[in-house]
Structure 1
């Protein structure tokens, strides 16, 4: 997961810091992350659809899209969710403190939080942490990495990406960071993500681009089917590379690069699922509609019986095809086809002869398991990534807050 520091290309117009303020027990782990925009930036957001949502989600949702965002402040270790009026006040205070340090209005600062829910923020620690972060922002990769570590909770390591987009001879940088390992289900999850670019984007372009890309990437990952209170995905465009506004074709090229960046980060989340030993790629093809394909993929991804079969290296075709059958999608079961790691297991309503030991070995010896389902009802398709389900996941979440 760790990208070498020298390979991370930072978009112009942003500064970063990550510091420890005492929210995490380990003093060597950052728990405050600060991103500062040198000038007002265009920002868009996509958020949890859970009706129970955290104070920072309410704050950011009412302030995006915008063309005047100056900073994003994140704390990890405490979600500031289900914290009532005090949580709303604490969120607003975080924005106000950052605004004072960067010479902006609190309305132009976005806030994210992640961690344990139902516990009030220790604002004395956070005030000191923000001041510390604001005093040491930098533009180089180490500062970016420190900020990326500052948003993590149960993750095994930072989740970052960067790439260069060349659009009609113009060069733009894209960089991203995200976190998430458990409580993961569309739409998004206990997931925070930030995508940065120095390309010029209007408010309308940024929001449309982010919403569509999220549907194809972060909304296609599963760990445990549990939707979080804090999911937030932000896109910030500084426009620092200058030049005219992007044409529709240029925007499409940039979108392709941003989608690739988001897909790369999204896959890292189920790959790092709490206790996970496999990343499961589920491709459903030949459906009447894309919605049908995605419904089937999600049912397969969320089935604990499918997940545990993958954990044990069991090519249990029955668990997979039965999950397809209860997805609520109309199809002819006598046409259904299933391949596991490119090996045909099931065709035309019945299992075919296959060497179970060979398939089992292919599962056990590879981190990624590929489930391919074809329904022969149309041309629509969908892809979902999921983690398997292990004893370690149960142990971790049984002990998480105690």
Structure 2
């Protein structure tokens, strides 16, 4: 796999467009992702019981298995908006289908922003008109599209790669958004993947499930799962390269998982008000699932997050978090590193280690490694520190 500083338009046969509908004043706030041919479509969605209207619409598209366009708006989640909100999502789907000349069942819808406010459909209509104009004039711009889907994010999250398979090279691209209301209950953000590989839906479904489970399901900014989460992928086959052999499937799956992992790290690093990325790795657990649960709990902890923000090597908070969930372990076998500094060994504190660990907490990425036994389970999770700015952003999100 070779990394590329590129977007969802890097794979062959994909285009992306952006518009300013006025949903967020003074910036781009709507986007359209387009495949020149119908693409195999796979997705995972929030399990929040208050799921937004676009989730209902796009899950129906995923069930059919084919998609050619995704219409996305920022600034309004269209969540908890009743039957009217669902009709608005279907209206967005039908409008784009009619003007792009495709079946409505091949148009997905995604929204992000404030919950409980009806979509201003006159503005949405203007944005969709701009997107159609850009599509007609072939003004594709993956960078602008990645900016148009943001809410409180400070920067877009894009990446791409080349993957060498037995019969040729395929490309995978990604754009994502997510900064607040981020916690594993599916994907806890919007993430869009594209690939020009030819691949069966059943295989793509499984590879996407594996990739998401080891990436977006292990991010926590604030412990609050969103109503609008989705991670979806379109595979249009335009490379002419088929993912068919077991070796190809394994290689493609690894690349997709690596790309999703990087997307998850970008989201954690860009958490609302964050100044540091926190990575917690748990080793020696009985199972991978148990290691993942323990790592997620540590990065979710407000006490751990606040300690990192303050540069306080209060490692007891990490151990308390890990010990609060999952399968039992022997405390006398536990060791903990903050960066390169061993602060706990065999369940006992290492003298003078805290002074050295303080410097490790000044890094842009603070890494904590927890060894809890000799089991095969390993997992890592990502979060960010907790700052005053997080409170300021969320105290006035609607006002």
Q: Which runs of 5+ in 2 are unaligned?
A: none
Could you say which residue in structure 1 is the equivalent of 2:105? Answer: 107
Deviations 1:100-159 (A, max 9, x none): 111112111000000000011111111121121122139999611111111110000111
Could you say which residue in structure 2 is the equivalent of 1:35? Answer: 33
Q: 2:384 aligns with which of 375, 383, 387?
A: 387
Deviations 1:38-75 (A, max 9, x none): 11110001011111100011111122144431210000
Q: Is the 8 A contact 2:335 2:370 kept in 1?
A: yes
Give the TM-score normalised by structure 1. Answer: 0.94
Question: 1:167 and 2:165 equivalent?
Answer: yes
Cα distance in 2 for partners of 1:6, 1:217 equals 20
Matches within 5 A, 1:264-275: 264-275=262-273
Cα distance in 2 for partners of 1:46, 1:153 equals 21
Could you say which residue in structure 1 is the equivalent of 2:14? Answer: 14
Matches within 5 A, 1:128-147: 128-137=126-135, 143-147=141-145
Cα distance in 1 for partners of 2:129, 2:369 equals 51
Cα distance in 2 for partners of 1:50, 1:370 equals 30
Q: 2:197 aligns with which of 193, 196, 199?
A: 199
Could you say which residue in structure 2 is the equivalent of 1:303? Answer: 301
Cα distance in 2 for partners of 1:4, 1:250 equals 20
Q: 1:257 aligns with which of 255, 260, 263?
A: 255
Cα distance in 1 for partners of 2:130, 2:242 equals 37
Q: Is the 8 A contact 1:30 1:150 kept in 2?
A: yes
Question: 1:116 and 2:114 equivalent?
Answer: yes
CA RMSD of aligned residues (A): 2.0
Q: Which runs of 5+ in 1 are unaligned?
A: none
Cα distance in 2 for partners of 1:327, 1:94 equals 43
Cα distance in 1 for partners of 2:83, 2:189 equals 23
Cα distance in 1 for partners of 2:353, 2:207 equals 45
Cα distance in 2 for partners of 1:244, 1:327 equals 43
Q: 1:248 Cα shift?
A: 2.1
Secondary structure of 2:209 counterpart: helix
Could you say which residue in structure 1 is the equivalent of 2:398? Answer: 401
Q: 1:215 Cα shift?
A: 0.2
Give the TM-score normalised by structure 2. Answer: 0.95
Secondary structure of 2:48 counterpart: coil
Could you say which residue in structure 1 is the equivalent of 2:360? Answer: 362
Q: Is the 8 A contact 1:182 1:190 kept in 2?
A: no
Cα distance in 1 for partners of 2:14, 2:137 equals 7
Question: 1:75 and 2:76 equivalent?
Answer: no
Specify whether residues 399 and 319 from structure 1 end up closer, same or farther in structure 2 by C-alpha distance, changes over 3 A only: same
Specify whether residues 315 and 35 from structure 1 end up closer, same or farther in structure 2 by C-alpha distance, changes over 3 A only: same
Q: 1:256 Cα shift?
A: 1.3
Specify whether residues 245 and 191 from structure 1 end up closer, same or farther in structure 2 by C-alpha distance, changes over 3 A only: closer
